[in-house]
């Protein structure tokens, strides 16, 4: 895939073409969403190898299932749903939920990051990222997923609901609880680091 394919403003056209078997249309969807899905999976799984494998698996599943989708498909939410299911499948198989420290400096180019010129600012940013991911590691998987979808992926409550299979009001409740869990865990880590 050469990267020249671009998803037009009206994704419905590309989805429709891809459903009819147009390889170029699916390639355009892949090119448009690959980095976003990789970033989401990387945050959920915590390592590049899993993220790469599961991103590929996600798009294979999407390709196979696309013909059975409705005409009003929200492709972003649908791909995130496939990705979250793929992550949960792997985590269940491993019989434990894990989250390895995020090595953002190694994958910044894949995760919409931009380099910083100020070394002090960069050090603070890396420290903050490490703290955030340490907190996320200790959160429940459901709360962690909701927070990642909202804060890292910038999804709306409706889209998060589609990904997680929840109503809009349920998403708001989960996000409220997730933020509370994040605050409690963050404070606990701060207090532990001071003592």
pLDDT (tens digit per residue) in 13-67: 888 888 998 999 999 999 999 999 999 998 888 788 999 999 999 999 999 999 8
Q: Of all residues in the chain, what percent carry a pLDDT higher than 90? A: 40
Q: Provide the pLDDT for residue 86.
A: 92
- pLDDT for 68-85, tens place per residue? 988 788 899 999 999 999
Determine the Cα–Cα distance for residues 167 and 20; give it in Å rounded to an integer.
31
On whether both 179 and 104 belong to a single domain, the answer is no
Asked if 102 and 123 sit in the same domain, the reply is no
pLDDT at 122: 65
Whether 187 has a pLDDT exceeding 70, the answer reads yes
CB 153 within 8 A of CB 125: no
Cβ neighbourhood burial of 58 (10 Å; 0-12, 13-18, 19+): buried
pLDDT of residue 103: 38
Please tell me whether residues 54 and 85 are part of one structural domain: yes
Co-location of 134 and 105 in the same domain: no
Domain final position from 77, 111, 145: 111
Domain of 2, CATH number, reads: 1.10.1740.10
pLDDT band at 4 (very low <50, low <70, confident <90, very high): very low
**pTM, full prediction:** 0.67
167 and 77: one domain? no
Domain with 144 in it = 119-195
High-pLDDT (> 70) share of the chain, %: 79
- Single out the residue in 85, 111, 137 at which a domain terminates: 111
Tokens 């207090």 locate to 191
- Specify whether 31 is located in the same domain as 72: yes
| Residues 1, 79 within the same domain | yes
Q: What is the pLDDT of residue 88?
A: 83
Mean pLDDT of 147-165: 90
Number of domains in the chain: 2
């Amino acid at each position: 895939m050469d990267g020249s394919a671009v998803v037009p403003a009206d994704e419905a056209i590309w989805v429709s073409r891809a459903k009819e078997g147009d390889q170029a249309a699916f390639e355009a969807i892949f090119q448009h969403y690959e980095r976003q899905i990789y970033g989401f999976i990387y945050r959920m799984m915590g390592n590049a190898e899993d993220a790469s494998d599961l991103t590929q698996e996600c798009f294979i599943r999407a390709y196979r299932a696309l013909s059975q989708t409705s005409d009003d498909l929200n492709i972003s939410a649908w791909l995130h749903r496939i990705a979250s299911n793929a992550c949960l499948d792997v985590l269940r198989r491993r019989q434990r939920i894990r989250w390895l420290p995020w090595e953002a400096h190694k994958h910044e180019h894949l995760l919409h990051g931009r380099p910083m010129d100020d070394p002090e600012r960069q050090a603070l940013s890396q420290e903050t990222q490490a703290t955030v991911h340490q907190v996320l590691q200790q959160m429940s998987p459901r709360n962690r997923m909701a927070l990642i979808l909202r804060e890292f992926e910038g999804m709306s409550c409706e889209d998060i609901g589609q990904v997680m299979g929840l109503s809009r009001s349920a998403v708001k409740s989960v996000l409220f609880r997730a933020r509370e869990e994040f605050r409690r865990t963050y404070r606990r880590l701060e207090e532990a680091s001071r003592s």
